[in-house]
């Protein structure tokens, strides 16, 4: 949709990977719609994943005992967060849709993306004590997880060892995205691309492109425990 802004937060070391292909086709498809697409390629940026004192420019509010959450909240209000965090926050603020593209690592995101979440989505910017979940700051934004797995789809059901894939998504979709107020679209899951033939990998990329063609017509999921656990 012309005029829409999309941020892709991308975490993979290899541009020729399936994640790289999924990121590239998203840029191509959304740009063809007239969207303005920005990619935060975390590995290429050498993004700092560690949440440290360096994220606050200038004096701390409490110089005796360092509390990262408190200090970044105060720094956000004083506009004294480090420039790399501010730049990513600006991208989020401008986006209508944020897509997270990554390989599933230990039922979660890669460390570099977790660091992006920890540092960028700080209190004051992404939420406040009384403003989270349905009252969160990003109520007018969409978010979507697009990721690859090592295991095949049949491994991620309730009675399988891997457990239902929806269980795995609870911390990310509900605990991070919904907490910040995002309207969460259904995930795009590319199962076990390393272990399927090339034509199947091409189908995965084509399926993602086809979905993106009508992404703006999609309805968010109902982010309640029942979606994940029933």
b/e per residue, 101-126, with b = 16+ CB within 10 A? bbbbeeeebbebbbbbbbbbbbbbbb
- Is 143's pLDDT higher than 80? yes
Alpha-carbon distance of 174 to 171, in angstroms, equals 6
Alpha-carbon distance of 159 to 168, in angstroms, equals 14
The tokens of 158 are what? 């309730």
- Is 224's pLDDT higher than 70? yes
Question: What 3-state DSSP class applies to 207?
Answer: helix
Question: How does pLDDT run across 165-177, given as a tens digit for each residue?
Answer: 998 999 999 999 9
CB within 8 Å of 26: residues ≥ 6 apart: 6, 8, 37, 99, 101, 146, 208, 209, 212
- Is 66's pLDDT higher than 80? yes
Residue 162's pLDDT band, with cuts at 50, 70 and 90, is: low
The predicted pLDDT at position 8 comes to 98
Residue 71's pLDDT band, with cuts at 50, 70 and 90, is: very high
φ and ψ at 105, to 5 degrees? -115, 120
- Is 2's pLDDT higher than 80? no
The predicted pLDDT at position 158 comes to 67
The predicted pLDDT at position 90 comes to 98
Residue whose entry in the numeric block shows the structure tokens 């995930």: 187
Residue 122's pLDDT band, with cuts at 50, 70 and 90, is: very high
pTM: 0.96
Question: How does pLDDT run across 94-112, given as a tens digit for each residue?
Answer: 999 999 999 999 999 999 9
**177 contacts 154 by C-beta, under 8 angstroms:** no
5-229: CATH homologous superfamily? Flavodoxin domain (3.40.50.360)
**212 contacts 150 by C-beta, under 8 angstroms:** no
Distances in Å between the alpha carbon of 185 and those of 112, 141, 188, 218?
23, 10, 9, 7
Sign of the Cα torsion 149, 150, 153, 158 reads negative
* Cα 182–chain centre separation: 11
The tokens of 207 are what? 């399926």
pLDDT, mean over the chain: 95
Alpha-carbon distance of 129 to 132, in angstroms, equals 7
- Is 160's pLDDT higher than 70? no
Element (H, E) at 45: helix 42-45
Alpha-carbon distance of 36 to 96, in angstroms, equals 10
Q: Where are the domains of the chain?
A: 5-229
The predicted pLDDT at position 22 comes to 98
The predicted pLDDT at position 163 comes to 77
């Amino acid at each position: 949709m012309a005029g829409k802004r999309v941020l892709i937060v991308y975490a993979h070391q290899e541009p020729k990977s399936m994640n790289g292909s999924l990121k590239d086709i998203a840029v191509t498809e959304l740009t063809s719609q007239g969207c303005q697409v920005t990619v935060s390629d975390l590995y290429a940026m050498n993004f700092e994943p560690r949440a440290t004192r360096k994220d606050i420019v200038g004096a701390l509010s409490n110089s005796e005992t360092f509390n990262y959450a408190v200090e970044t909240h105060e720094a956000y209000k004083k506009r004294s967060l480090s420039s790399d965090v501010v730049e990513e926050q600006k991208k989020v603020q401008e986006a209508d849709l944020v897509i997270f593209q990554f390989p599933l690592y230990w039922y979660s995101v890669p460390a570099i993306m977790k660091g992006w979440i920890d540092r960028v989505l700080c209190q004051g910017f992404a939420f406040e004590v009384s403003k989270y979940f349905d009252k969160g700051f990003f109520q007018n934004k969409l978010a979507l997880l697009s990721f690859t797995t090592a295991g095949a789809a049949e491994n991620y059901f309730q009675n399988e060892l891997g457990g239902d894939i929806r269980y795995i998504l609870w911390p990310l979709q509900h605990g991070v995205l919904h907490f910040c107020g995002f309207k969460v679209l259904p995930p795009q899951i590319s199962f076990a691309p390393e272990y399927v033939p090339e034509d199947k990998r091409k189908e995965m990329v084509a399926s993602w492109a086809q979905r993106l063609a009508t992404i703006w017509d999609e309805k968010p999921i109902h982010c309640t425990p029942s979606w994940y656990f029933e």
